Structure 1
Amino acid sequence: MARSVLLQLARDSIQEVIEATNTIDHASLLQEHPLLSQNIPTEVKIFIEEELRGSYKINEALSLLQNVIIAAKKAAFEDKNFTPLTTSEYLRCSLEITLDTAEGIISQKDEPILS
């Protein structure tokens, strides 16, 4: 099953840090998915075997694109309650993104890359 654009963006954000690269093409994403330019409070949670492994919530008025990127990286590597995510943990983790929209809360979760 293909991941949603938001979940893939969160995964790509974490992978950028792990690989020390810049691979996310912001301009292309905004052109393909104009909704990513909207200001939507965003939370990213990381789970390993259904246990919380990191989380970060952004309430600031940044674009959804920036919110997902920042929240994913901070949940993975800067949550003070956990050590930074390792590569093996990344491969076994599932991500959950929650958006606080005007219409209500929207949440989606993916499956680990490796089971």
Structure 2
Amino acid sequence: MSRSVLLQLARDSIQEVFQAQRTIDKLALLSEHPLLNEKIATTVNIYLENELRGSYGSTQATKSLLEDIVFNAKKSAFEDKNFTPLTTSEYLSCEIELLLVTPDGVMSEKDPAILKD
């Protein structure tokens, strides 16, 4: 499974809050990507102009990868106590970094901003 699916899941999770509706088809994702059922701890970091704008992570793998990404993405965007909730314009300009804590070490990938300067 490509990690871009995971980054898209993080983006879609945040977008669900802005749209005030559930748009992620979890059953279809779980069916198409069985790895999303595995318990893997994640951290989602949000950056604006290379500055941290929000972060939230799991210390232990207690949820499925799918649920962990959805939960941590929303928490990092809207409930990080160090920042105000993310705005729509910030969302469009932010980079999202996803960290996966695996037995082989930490894997990381960043998703570029939707709108470029």
Q: TM-score, normalised by structure 2?
A: 0.94
1:5 is matched with which residue?
Answer: 5
Q: Does 1:19 align with 2:55?
A: no
Extract unaligned runs of 5+ from structure 2: none
Q: After TM superposition, which residue ranges in structure 1, 4 or more long, deviate above 3 angstroms?
A: none
2:42 is matched with which residue?
Answer: 42
The letter of the residue matching 1:86 is T
Give the match's secondary structure for 2:108. strand
Give the match's secondary structure for 1:46. strand
Q: TM-score, normalised by structure 1?
A: 0.96
Extract unaligned runs of 5+ from structure 1: none
- Percent identical pairs in the alignment equals 61
Q: How many residues align?
A: 113
Per the TM alignment, residue 47 of structure 1 is displaced from its structure 2 partner at its CA by 0.1
Q: Does 1:112 align with 2:113?
A: yes
Give me the CA root mean square deviation: 0.9
Distance in 2 between residues matched to 1:110 and 1:20, nearest whole Å: 23
Distance in 2 between residues matched to 1:73 and 1:33, nearest whole Å: 21
2:66 is matched with which residue?
Answer: 65
